[in-house]
Amino acid sequence: MDNTDNRKLLFRSTNGRAPAVSFEQALLKGLAPDGGLYMPEQIPAFTAEEIQKFSDMEYHEIALAVGKKFLAGEIPDEDLERIVRDAYNYEIPLEHVLDNSFVMRLDQGPTASFKDFAARMMGRLMQYFLNRNGGKLLILTATSGDTGSAIANAFYGLDNVNVVVLFPEKEVTDRQRKQMTTLGKNVSIIALNGKFDDCQALVKQAFGDSELDYLNLSSANSINIGRLIPQTMYYFYSFAKLRSGDPGEKAVFSVPSGNFGDLCGGLIAKKMGLPVDRFVVATNENDEYPRFVESGFYEKLVPSRNCISSAMNVGHPSNIPRLVQMYGGTMDENGNIGTAPDMELIRKDMYAVSINDEETQAMISEAYKESGLVLEPHGSVGWAGLQSYLKDEKVSSEQLCISLETAHPAKFPEKIREILAFDPELPPSLQGLEDKEESFEHLPTEYDAFKEFLKSNYTK
């Protein structure tokens, strides 16, 4: 073993019954063989001085510093630098709203949702390793709207990766669907006559099906560690750009949450040394997590509830086992708790709140009237969650608060028009979609049909 290998961080399954692997293996596998999720064996840390220096750095430079902490010894720094520069070539606006509260717009990527941050980095990392070591992958992804288009876009045109995306037919907007179905090439799209959870169940079953081993299946869902690491970077970035200079300053982040990948990115950033006072964990009416924080008992919601913040209609968030592990507990993929996490610490670090559709719509209207802030439903859940926290806990108006806007309002034109009576301006990345031709399959929710689709379309 040479020096480089000694520095490699290892990744372990949250179920604890699979061997530790390198980042490359964790990335290409997605799910651990024991059904658990990969997590770094230790979470690397920055010093306060290192974090201080971020204030003078650009996004891709901060991304490189964070990425190096996890990938040193696996990817030479110059290659990683090329990857982050190429992946993060768009703006991350930090919009001042009122007092010391800001909205971080993570919606300027090619598919106009925050999922571009993770997908673009993950796609480039997978391509990097496959080019280096050979091999082919078939990526299966279940989407409630935004993952599918971000993944399809990030992998479109690669020659050693094929992509199959399943989406719940009735739960995505026309525009979201068109972002996936107008690509073609190595990207296949399936409309399922069911809910997001049905899509996710099919993907999981395919992973466990040894008859499909020959396809070299991998996942691009937020269970993939390759998506999680990029989601720590913008927490560092926003704090670096908005901090006042007071050495003891800590930020409050409000995170609209569905599968909890975004939140886990924030929790990892905090463990790495980012000064965070509290996370506001804002869900829609799928309130299994706020109820868990209150009671200490976890109960998944089946079926999940349909809300207007459709990308967050998740009744059993796939990243919860990671969160539980970060607080000293264990949870399997079905939501069963082995060792209880430190609930007191969870409550200290997180304020969890469920925002219903009525409150979500009212906040879109109120934020625009009072502050000229244009929010779409997901960002509105986050902003409403933050307002609830500030009021409930009588937080000082000087507290630095950063609320994440996870999609561009123009992805939900029907809602915005209905509430604000205007059409949000289309970002360049979404222009011209209407005129493109769509192509996709329809399938029922039965596994056999899906398996047959895979077997007949993909050979060795």
Instruction: Give catalytic residues, as residue numbers.
Output: 115
Note whether 258 binds ligand PLP by CB under 6 A. yes
Q: Would you say 439 and 191 are in contact if contact means Cβ atoms under 8 Å apart?
A: no
Site map (CB under 6 A) of ligand PLP, residues 74-113, x = contact? ---------------------------------------x
How many residues make contact with ligand PLP (CB under 6 A)? 17
Note whether 115 binds ligand PLP by CB under 6 A. yes
d(CA 44, CA 9): 9
Per the listing, tokens 């964070």 go with 66
Take residue 358 and report the two structure tokens written for it. 């009525």
Per the listing, tokens 């560092």 go with 236
Note whether 146 binds ligand PLP by CB under 6 A. yes
Q: Which residue is nearest to ligand PLP (CB)?
A: 146
Of the listed pieces 87-95, 203-211, 254-262, 295-303, which binds ligand PLP according to CB under 6 A? 254-262
Note whether 259 binds ligand PLP by CB under 6 A. yes
Note whether 378 binds ligand PLP by CB under 6 A. yes
Among positions 223, 367, 407, 410, the unique one binding ligand PLP when judged by CB under 6 A = 407
Note whether 252 binds ligand PLP by CB under 6 A. no
Cβ-based nearer residue to ligand PLP, 261 or 315: 261
Beta bridge partners, 190, equal 166, 441
Site for ligand PLP in 31-70 (CB under 6 A): none
**CA angle in degrees (0–180, nearest 5) for 48-51-53:** 115
SS (H, E, C) 354-389: ECCHHHHHHHHHHHHHHHCCCCCHHHHHHHHHHHHH
Site map (CB under 6 A) of ligand PLP, residues 276-315, x = contact? -----------------------------------xx---
Per the listing, tokens 């509430």 go with 419
Cβ-based nearer residue to ligand PLP, 243 or 415: 415
**CA angle in degrees (0–180, nearest 5) for 381-387-392:** 120
Q: Would you say 106 and 230 are in contact if contact means Cβ atoms under 8 Å apart?
A: no
Cβ-based nearer residue to ligand PLP, 113 or 200: 113
Note whether 406 binds ligand PLP by CB under 6 A. yes
Distances (CA, A) of 456 to 167, 189, 204, 212, 379: 20, 15, 19, 12, 40
Binding residues vs ligand PLP (CB under 6 A) = 113, 115, 146, 222, 256-263, 311-312, 378, 406-407
